[in-house]
Amino acid sequence: KLSNSISTSPHVCSLTNAFAVACCADFSAMPDQIHLANLQLRCHIGVPDEERAAPQLLHADVIIHSRLPFEAMRDDIAQTIDYAAVATRLEQLAAAKPRRLIETLAADLAACVLAEFAAAAVEITLKKRILPQTDHVAVHLFRQAGTNA
């Protein structure tokens, strides 16, 4: 629900729930984004040993916030983030070792994007089909380059 008292200060912008929400009047403050939707990740994950024993298929929505506006890239692939390389690297990372929590895997994926690719920020939504009464459970995080959280 939007309030009539939304700040127009450029310092009051935030990103939440996989959407860039501009709290400022200038929408140009929102970073350009690259989306990887439903990236399939095979991994050994789960709290019980039996659950981790067999590989599971998780799905990730990855939103990469670009350091450059798209028009500044001047149609030069070297100026953008290679989303095929990101997808391949995240698949490798997910498969590299077993984990107990999807929260841990989501944090590892985000750290990888920030460390290995020229992203200003990244959002990860990681989905796991585990509860029979739900379509999936999911965790979501946002991480920004140059910060520890």
Catalytic residues: 128
Residue with tokens 């690719």: 117
Measured at the alpha carbon of residue 41, what is the angle toward residues 39 and 44, in degrees to the nearest 5? Answer: 160
**What residue type is assigned to position 63 of the chain?**
I
Taking the C-alpha atoms of residue 58 and residue 95, their distance in angstroms, rounded to an integer, is 11
Taking the C-alpha atoms of residue 124 and residue 127, their distance in angstroms, rounded to an integer, is 10
β-sheet bridge partners, residue 99: 45
Tallying the residues shown for the chain, one arrives at: 149
